[in-house]
Chain A
Amino acid sequence: MKKILIVDDEPSIVMSLEYLLRRKKFDVLIARNGTEALNILGKSTPDLILLDIMMPDVDGYEICEFVKTSPELKHIKIIFLSAKSKKSDIEKGMQLGADAYMVKPFSTKDLLAKVNELVN
């Protein structure tokens, strides 16, 4: 079973994504902010991270950079899910090594398709 980590500080979004992915038989881990995400990454290694950018403590860019620059973690796929819609925001995310960037609000079908493509 593939393991997916959801990192977002918005409870209603976390709830929806968790429900969606569990039903598709993914193992789901949840972090409600950047610090929690880093803690989880210290203990377990997911196959993919769904990553929000604007969070109060450690932002998504920093987590992405951390993952993609550490030898043990850099194989983890990362999809940014962010309300930041500027071209420069997207470019920055991709430069840090993210595998995809989806602007909120996104279609759940597109998201699932992207997740499947990346983990298989």
Chain B
Amino acid sequence: MNGLLLIALSAAYLLVLFFIAQWAEKRNVLSWKKTGPFIYALSIAVYCSAWTFYGSIGRAATSGIDFIAIYLGPVLVFPLWWIVVRKITRIVRVQHITSIADFLAARYGKNQQIGTLVALLTLVAVTPYIALQIKAIGDSFIVVTGGSAYSWLDPVLVTTIAICAFTLIYGTRFLTGNKPKNGMVTAVALESLVKLGAFLIGGIVLISYVFGGSKKVFAEAMQRPELQELFTLNSVSESQDWLWLIVISGFAIVLLPRQFQVSAIENQDERHLKKAMWMVPLYLLLINIFVLPIALAGRMYLPESSPSDYYFLNLANAYGGNWLTALIYFGGFSAATSMMVVSSLSLGNMLSTNVVFPTFLRPSKTKDYSTKIILTKRLSLISIFILGYAYYHYLAINTPLVSIGLTSFAGVAQLAPAFFGGLYWRGAARKGALAGILVGFGIWLYALILPTLLSNLGLGADFLANGLWGIKSLSPIYFGAATGMSAFTAAAAISLLANLFVFVLVSIFTEQTKLESNQAELFVNIFRISRRNYDKAGIWQADVPYLDIKSLLINFLGDKRTEEVLDRYARINGINFNETVQADSRMISYAERLLTEAIGPASARIMIASVAQGDEISIYEVMDILRESKEVLQLNKDLRQKHDQLARATDELQQANTRLLEYSDIKDEFLYTVTHELRTPLTAIRAQAEILEDDDEMPEADRKMFLSSIVRECERLTKLITNVLDLEKFESGSQKLDLKKESLKELIIEAKDTLRQLIVQKEIELDCQINSSLPEALMDRDRIIQVMVNLLSNAIKFCNSENGKVIITAYVLHDNLKVNVIDNGSGISKEEAKLVFDKFYQVKDQTRKKPTGSGLGLAICKNIIQMHGGEIWVQPEPRMGTRFSFTIPLVLQQMPTEKETT
């Protein structure tokens, strides 16, 4: 594929990502109820970097199935996600923490040494990992374009700059303040989808279509002895390797700066964690499905010189065509970019808050740091990219992807004892953490980094072989060689074990400072602290002039944001700030947390200390606060229960009241409508009677006309009154059915006979399709006839006036008798269909003459059918008019005793 085209496509991809991020930012997608949890879970899949995408295959091709260990570790961690990560996110939120270095610094007494050490350690450990992503982009670019790189344009450098720009725009916008980075997180989640999609599509096309299915690939591989060994664990040392890979990768999914960023810092809602618990392991499974088949296919179908890391791309190139190759390239590209974006953001932040600020920020009441802070963060971020690129350019040329990645993992794992110890062990002390990390980190540098560096530079073969000062056991690779473990496992195991040992030992033998033990208490028992009491745990003495605090905040946050946050604080706490107000300890703690977001916990503490007197409250006081918290929480719980009970009772009362009111409304409405319906015929009767009374000389014909009209209106009145009484009986429940075994067919015929004259008179074609073998059912003879007469006369009334047609069908359906009465009138609308069974509803259609009827017939029908345990409904009949249907159960299961009121 043409290099320029690929660059253009990559640029387009980044641009699309950019716009989606912008959209997500505006719409605040992480707070969406349905998508939020998915985005959170997908963003955690940033774990799968280019190393996963290309390196796993490379590893599988050379060492077999042990690549799985790197995913087994995380999968084993996820069942604990709700317990462990929820605790972490809670602490992160309460303490306003923005990175893992802040986390450890805050835990160990807001200590600067810890923060700086952790920041530097992760920087050293992760920079090669970023270089790995750059290397993957560069290598894959060359594979796709066939190495036709342009001398005037380094595509890798261009891409790195583009990704750096993207991160700058979407990350540092929010550097001061813990605002959610919706855009960035959504972009990362989207990239997770892209890389998974590319991997699966590529895998399916190559393995299933090109190579005839994975079964065939495995079968072929089994024929070759050199490939067989890839499937087996064949020694104790190899299972040791597995164990340590699982442990280290399990730590990595929590502790890698980018993982800490997406899973704890960017978490918006603790409930999202639950979705991640099953989604992320599923994701890891899916993205590994094709690793082994592709690795085997690469070994079998590609020339031996082909680099195993790029089997996937080379296979696609050789067997799948240009577009498949490009697709896989973009899968890898998205894996690399998402890792780079999140890692650089978290590393840049750590570098500035834990290395740069502590060194250069000095308390000052006049100096305005707010713009410099953001600038520093931007520069830190850019320098991460520069470091990564430099490492790639000068050191990473010949190292396989996996070994760089694993080295990083082992480095970051050095934080595990101090981190998890700090989370669950109150006794974990600052000096222990410091010593443990230093020892572990030192061994890691000596045993893992040094040999790589030396061999890359072509130096030190003698040193590696004979050890320091000629003492063999001091050689970086001695331990591995002596135990038979791989050099990597040996170094990782010994560094971690030494780290843990030193950490525990020193922690036990050192005394914590008061601030340290307070923080330990607050971390370990985070779930027992209520938010309100948390502020009390501040260590600051009250009565600092408010203006001092304000000017301090302005120095770091700028005017606008300071006004904003102070306004909010004043609003929430009902304080009216003016120049004479003294800030209390809560207010000072609040300011400290705001500063922590901007410059890290240690620097924030120093800044606050410059204006406020530290009041070293004792551990007993903290315990008091905790106990109080606990009591308040218990009290809250009791109150809540009481409150819930009360709310439930109120609710029930309210509902009962509403029902009563509704019932009474319905009654009123009913009475009002009845009287209205009575008034209309009465009006006609009275008017006509008065006319007759006044006019003795009226012609005979007119007299007849009025008299017969009076009789008709009287009949209408009678019918109305009968119907009202009928309905009243049904609705009050006093109407009883006289149930006997009856033949439905007979009843229908009887109803038809009642209306025979009307049918003949209106020349209606009546089509009766009744199954002659209909079984008998329990029915009230007169009532069912009443229903049929009602439906039939409606059908006659509303069917086509020219050539009216009515169809009656009756049959058995699902243990029910079912009857349909269909007319060919002008049909019924959906809205009307819902209303026709209501009392006094009359079909409104101005093209028809007003139908004469009480408006109660169908309401009565509904009652009758429901009392039989059946249903009645109406719907438009296709190509005809309207269809009324009802059912009567063949076996009456239960007599409904109470009728619905509507």
- Chain A interface (Cβ < 8 Å from any Cβ of B): 9-13, 15-17, 19-20, 23, 33, 35, 54, 56-57, 81, 83-86, 103-109
Residues on A with C-beta less than 8 A from B713 are 12
Q: Taking the nearest CB of chain B, how far is it from the CB of A31, in angstroms? A: 12
Pair B690/A85 contact, Cβ less than 8 Å: no
Instruction: Given A12-B712, A19-B702, answer yes or no on A107-B680 (Cβ-Cβ < 8 Å).
Output: no
Pair A108/B690 contact, Cβ less than 8 Å: yes
Does B683 touch A at the CB level, under 8 Å?
yes
Residues on A with C-beta less than 8 A from B686 are 105-108
Pair A105/B682 contact, Cβ less than 8 Å: yes
Over the window 680-700 of chain B, the binary record of Cβ atoms lying under 8 Å from chain A Cβ atoms (1 yes, 0 no) is: 111111111011001100000
A-B pairs, top 7 by smallest CB distance, nearest first, are: A83-B679, A12-B684, A105-B683, A16-B687, A104-B683, A56-B844, A105-B686
Over the window 701-717 of chain B, the binary record of Cβ atoms lying under 8 Å from chain A Cβ atoms (1 yes, 0 no) is: 01001100100110000
Does B151 touch A at the CB level, under 8 Å?
no
Residue of B whose beta carbon sits closest to that of A13:
B684
Residues on A with C-beta less than 8 A from B688 are 12, 16
Residues on A with C-beta less than 8 A from B676 are 54, 83-85
Interface residues of B toward A: which range? 20 to 34
Instruction: Given A33-B846, A56-B846, A57-B846, answer yes or no on A13-B690 (Cβ-Cβ < 8 Å).
Output: no
Does B850 touch A at the CB level, under 8 Å?
yes
Instruction: Given A12-B709, A16-B688, answer yes or no on A106-B695 (Cβ-Cβ < 8 Å).
Output: no
Residue of B whose beta carbon sits closest to that of A10:
B680
Residue of A whose beta carbon sits closest to that of B695:
A23
Residues on A with C-beta less than 8 A from B709 are 12, 15-16
Q: Taking the nearest CB of chain B, how far is it from the CB of A110, in angstroms? A: 10
Q: What are 28 A-B contacts defined by CB distance under 8 Å?
A: A9-B850, A10-B850, A12-B681, A12-B684, A12-B712, A12-B713, A13-B680, A15-B709, A16-B688, A16-B709, A17-B687, A19-B706, A33-B846, A35-B846, A56-B845, A83-B676, A83-B683, A85-B675, A85-B676, A104-B680, A105-B679, A105-B685, A106-B687, A107-B690, A108-B687, A108-B691, A108-B694, A109-B690
Pair B679/A104 contact, Cβ less than 8 Å: yes
Residues of B contacting A: mostly: helix
Pair B850/A13 contact, Cβ less than 8 Å: no
A97 to B684, CA, bound (A): 26
A71 to B679, CA, bound (A): 35
Known: A12-B713, A107-B690. 10 other contacts (CB 8 A): A12-B681, A12-B688, A19-B691, A20-B691, A23-B695, A35-B846, A57-B844, A85-B675, A105-B687, A109-B690
Residue of B whose beta carbon sits closest to that of A9:
B850
A19 to B680, CA, bound (A): 18
A33 to B848, CA, bound (A): 11
Residues on B with C-beta less than 8 A from A108 are 686-687, 690-691, 694
Pair B691/A104 contact, Cβ less than 8 Å: no
Residue of B whose beta carbon sits closest to that of A84:
B676
Residue of A whose beta carbon sits closest to that of B713:
A12
Pair A106/B850 contact, Cβ less than 8 Å: no
Over the window 481-501 of chain B, the binary record of Cβ atoms lying under 8 Å from chain A Cβ atoms (1 yes, 0 no) is: 000000000000000000000
Q: Taking the nearest CB of chain A, how far is it from the CB of B451, in angstroms? A: 94
Q: Taking the nearest CB of chain A, how far is it from the CB of B669, in angstroms? A: 12
A91 to B706, CA, bound (A): 34
Residues on B with C-beta less than 8 A from A56 are 842, 844-846, 850
Residues on B with C-beta less than 8 A from A54 are 676
Pair A16/B684 contact, Cβ less than 8 Å: yes
Residues on B with C-beta less than 8 A from A20 are 687, 691
Q: Taking the nearest CB of chain B, how far is it from the CB of A7, in angstroms? A: 14
Q: Taking the nearest CB of chain A, how far is it from the CB of B248, in angstroms? A: 80
Residue of A whose beta carbon sits closest to that of B676:
A83
Residues on B with C-beta less than 8 A from A16 are 684, 687-688, 691, 706, 709
Tell me which of B676, B684, B691, B842 has the highest count of chain A C-beta atoms within 10 A of its own C-beta: B684
Residues on B with C-beta less than 8 A from A10 are 680, 683-684, 850
A86 to B668, CA, bound (A): 12
Residues on B with C-beta less than 8 A from A57 are 844, 846
Q: Taking the nearest CB of chain B, how far is it from the CB of A91, in angstroms? A: 16
Tell me which of B679, B683, B695 has the highest count of chain A C-beta atoms within 10 A of its own C-beta: B683
Q: Taking the nearest CB of chain B, how far is it from the CB of A85, in angstroms? A: 7
Over the window 251-263 of chain B, the binary record of Cβ atoms lying under 8 Å from chain A Cβ atoms (1 yes, 0 no) is: 0000000000000
Residues on B with C-beta less than 8 A from A11 are 850
Q: Taking the nearest CB of chain A, how far is it from the CB of B95, in angstroms? A: 64
A33 to B846, CA, bound (A): 8
A101 to B849, CA, bound (A): 26
Q: Taking the nearest CB of chain A, how far is it from the CB of B798, in angstroms? A: 15
Residues on B with C-beta less than 8 A from A81 are 683
Residues on A with C-beta less than 8 A from B691 are 16, 19-20, 108
Pair B683/A13 contact, Cβ less than 8 Å: yes
A84 to B676, CA, bound (A): 7
A83 to B686, CA, bound (A): 14
Tell me which of A13, A84, A105 has the highest count of chain B C-beta atoms within 10 A of its own C-beta: A105
A23 to B846, CA, bound (A): 30
Residue of B whose beta carbon sits closest to that of A19:
B691
Residues on A with C-beta less than 8 A from B694 are 108
Residues on A with C-beta less than 8 A from B681 are 12
Tell me which of B675, B680, B713 has the highest count of chain A C-beta atoms within 10 A of its own C-beta: B680
A13 to B850, CA, bound (A): 13
Residues on A with C-beta less than 8 A from B702 are 19
Residue of A whose beta carbon sits closest to that of B690:
A108
A9 to B684, CA, bound (A): 12
A104 to B680, CA, bound (A): 7
A35 to B709, CA, bound (A): 26
A15 to B712, CA, bound (A): 14
Residues on A with C-beta less than 8 A from B685 are 105
CB-CB contacts below 8 Å: B725-746 with A: none
Residue of A whose beta carbon sits closest to that of B678:
A83
Instruction: Given A16-B688, A56-B846, answer yes or no on A104-B675 (Cβ-Cβ < 8 Å).
Output: no
A23 to B691, CA, bound (A): 10
Q: Taking the nearest CB of chain A, how far is it from the CB of B835, in angstroms? A: 13
Q: Taking the nearest CB of chain A, how far is it from the CB of B701, in angstroms? A: 12
Residue of A whose beta carbon sits closest to that of B845:
A56
Residues on A with C-beta less than 8 A from B690 are 107-109
Residues on B with C-beta less than 8 A from A19 are 691, 702, 706
Q: Taking the nearest CB of chain A, how far is it from the CB of B707, in angstroms? A: 12
Q: Taking the nearest CB of chain B, how far is it from the CB of A94, in angstroms? A: 19
A41 to B509, CA, bound (A): 104
Q: Taking the nearest CB of chain A, how far is it from the CB of B687, in angstroms? A: 4
Residues on A with C-beta less than 8 A from B712 are 12
A33 to B842, CA, bound (A): 15
A119 to B650, CA, bound (A): 60
Tell me which of A10, A54, A109 has the highest count of chain B C-beta atoms within 10 A of its own C-beta: A10
Pair B684/A85 contact, Cβ less than 8 Å: no
Residues on A with C-beta less than 8 A from B687 are 13, 16-17, 20, 105-106, 108
Residues on B with C-beta less than 8 A from A104 are 679-680, 682-683
A17 to B695, CA, bound (A): 14
A87 to B255, CA, bound (A): 77
A99 to B672, CA, bound (A): 25
A110 to B679, CA, bound (A): 17
A73 to B176, CA, bound (A): 71
A11 to B683, CA, bound (A): 12
A13 to B681, CA, bound (A): 8
Q: Taking the nearest CB of chain B, how far is it from the CB of A36, in angstroms? A: 9
A33 to B847, CA, bound (A): 10
A56 to B713, CA, bound (A): 20
A81 to B679, CA, bound (A): 11
Residues on A with C-beta less than 8 A from B675 are 83, 85
A20 to B842, CA, bound (A): 29
Instruction: Given A12-B688, A109-B690, answer yes or no on A85-B846 (Cβ-Cβ < 8 Å).
Output: no
A85 to B844, CA, bound (A): 23
Residues on A with C-beta less than 8 A from B845 are 56
Q: Taking the nearest CB of chain A, how far is it from the CB of B667, in angstroms? A: 15
Residue of B whose beta carbon sits closest to that of A106:
B683
Over the window 806-845 of chain B, the binary record of Cβ atoms lying under 8 Å from chain A Cβ atoms (1 yes, 0 no) is: 0000000000000000000000000000000000001011
